[in-house]
Amino acid sequence: MKQSRIASGGSSLLLAAACTLAGPVATEAVPSTAATGYVALGDSYSAGVGAGAYLASGADCLRSGLAFPALWASAHAPSSFSFTACDRARTSDVLAHQLGPLNSRTGLVTLTVGGSDSGFSHVMEICVLQGHDACLSAVARARSFMDGTLPGNLDRLYAAIRRKAPAARVVVLGYPRLYRPHGTCKGGLDEAERSALDGAVDRLDSVISARAAGHGFRFADVRAAFTGHEICSAAPWLHSVDWLDLAESYHPTAPGQSLGYLPVLTGAG
């Protein structure tokens, strides 16, 4: 019995030594798959509202084949492309309804979000219909929301994106200023109202940029790309108010998507 135990112990030592030299024993094969899929999240600016050529799938979301996510996917041929951005989406809508395609194989996520949370559509309605004082008050309320509530909304969404797509490069795109200062517009809002709205966009972009950086995401600023192409410029890439199609009002045109947003995303790599 004593010799048997000694022999058994010697065999165990030899086996342990062999394992040490050979390296750890793999318990299961783990496939190595590159994270190369692309998921486009967000609101109407990502969906492509205003660009036309709307897709039959998800018609209620007004997703356009001319939106910057579709154009980027066509040019770069990712291994998969999921286009879940939707008209009027808020951070809570993206969180609840758009994150399904995210997974460990997602290599790129893009999104625009925060404008709907801040009530920009309602602000524009007030500014167009209710006059100067009401407009400036609405802008002030939107800015208060941006400073007080929006950062937390963005944090919850950004954290969920990172959990579901741990390997992804996340590019958060901002919003362009709406109006060209002292531009060609002869009627409509006065210069103080236009300036206040542009200032609110600047504040919105600042909040979004700060929260994106806090989560290690890239913020892609489109304001420089749209400079000279705002409403009241000679060659606008944004729709002014359109009484025949209010959904497209204050959204990028097809050139705004292809010449404004797309190059900024392409350069954000």
Which residues are identified as catalytic?
Answer: 44, 251
Q: Which tokens belong to 98? A: 């758009």
Q: Say if CB 107 and CB 78 are below 8 A apart.
A: yes
DSSP tag of 109: E
The span from the CA of 138 to the CA of 157, in Å, is 26
Q: What is the largest CA-CA distance in the chain?
A: 106
Q: CA 223 from chain center: how many Å?
A: 15
- Backbone dihedral region of 173: left (phi > 0), alpha (psi from -120 to 50 degrees) or beta? beta
Residue at 200: amino acid letter: A
Q: Say if CB 78 and CB 36 are below 8 A apart.
A: yes
Parallel/antiparallel/unpaired status of strands 106-112 and 169-173 = parallel
Expressed in angstroms, the distance from the first to the final Cα of the chain is: 69
DSSP tag of 251: S
CB burial readout 170-199, b (16+ within 10 A) else e: bbbbbbbbbbbeebebeeebeeebbbbbbe
